[in-house]
Amino acid sequence: MKKILSVILRVSITLVLLIFLFSKTDVPSLIGVVRDAHKGRLFSAFALFFFLNILVLLRWQCLLRRRGLRVGTFRLLLAYLSGLLFNLVLPSTIGGDTVRTLDIADHTGQDSSVILGTVVMDRVAGFFGLFGVLLFSLVFGFRQFHDASILAAAAVLLALIVLFSGIMFSRRFFTACFGWLPFARLKEYLKRVHAVTWAYRQEKGTLLAIWLISMAVHVGLAFQFLLTAQALGASVSVISCLIFVPMVTAFSSLPVSVGGLGLRDAATIFVFTKVGMSPETAFAISLLTFGFMLLIGLLGGVSYVSTLYRRRV
């Protein structure tokens, strides 16, 4: 019952946010902005977005290999993209991560806790890269905005990173956070997951590599936003994208809506109107980015289903 109520709540939040945003938006102008988009630049933005997903896939593959698990790139791509599709259609990213965890666990014959440990590391590595890009960008660009809310958001992200780091790399901190759980089987499973993430603390080279990949991904996402904005005829600085896009990404990852819809759009409109972008253009960029994710997820889902029988026999 609690799961059903949680799903209903998240779907409701998504619908309420979207209805509110569309009610405050000049819809004909929004349609016009998208209709008049430069098709070549829009395709370039999509191509860059697809390439960045390949980088994320390689980051996950690197983590799997450090645990002695060698999965072919194409096979991993199917699991990753199908997970991406489930991330978009289910009320949180947990559903997609569960799909790719169980799929690769079945493929490799490993306990799912081992695979989930690599997925958790992959997710948190993304936050480390996100904060790294945001921090470097703030050093060079904060004076352009004079907005304390930017620093407040950066402080919240830093606190989350400290929390995640403690849970993953400190046995004492992990016990403090989860030792109170009354469910013995769940607690034991989480301990096995933690054992996987804890093992990475000794692998400084791997941690540096996935952090650099994550930095590259988030820089790339900023430029994908920039290309999309240019395709719509909007003018926005690179430094604005490098500061705001990581914030939007972090905010949209909160598991309170379906696929980040509503949250991502509201955050994009809120931050980019600060630098003179029209609400309609910011909304259009956010919706197009969701469209990129949905298209890639659908391609992955179709490929996954079409090869399912062959992989089962």
pLDDT band, residue 215 (cuts 50/70/90) = very high
pTM of the predicted model as reported, rounded to 2 decimal places: 0.88
Calpha distance 51→19 (Å, rounded): 32
Calpha distance 64→75 (Å, rounded): 13
Q: Does residue 101 register a pLDDT over 60?
A: yes
Residue 211 lies in a domain: yes
Residue 88 lies in a domain: yes
What's the number of CA atoms in the CB half-sphere (13 Å) around residue 98? 8
13-30 residue pLDDT tens: 888 888 888 888 888 888
Tell me, what's the pLDDT at 107? 85
75-84 residue pLDDT tens: 888 888 878 8
Tell me, what's the pLDDT at 313? 47
User: Which residue's structure tokens are 């089987």?
Assistant: 185
CA 192 to chain centre: 24
What's the number of CA atoms in the CB half-sphere (13 Å) around residue 11? 8
Calpha distance 120→88 (Å, rounded): 18
Helices (H), 24-111: 27-35, 39-66, 73-89, 93-108
Residue 30 lies in a domain: no
Q: Does residue 154 register a pLDDT over 80?
A: no
Mean pLDDT of the chain: 85
Residue 148 lies in a domain: yes
- The pLDDT of 191-207, averaged and rounded, is 89
Tokens linked to 70? 């060698």
The Cα-based distances of 270 to 53, 71, 131, 149, 297 in angstroms read: 26, 41, 20, 11, 27
Residue 10 lies in a domain: no
Residue-number span of the structural domain to which 237 is assigned: 47-312
Residue 11 lies in a domain: no
Tally of structural domains, the chain: 1
- The pLDDT of 233-248, averaged and rounded, is 90
Residue 281 lies in a domain: yes
Tell me, what's the pLDDT at 55? 94
Tell me, what's the pLDDT at 280? 92
Q: What is the largest CA-CA distance in the chain?
A: 61
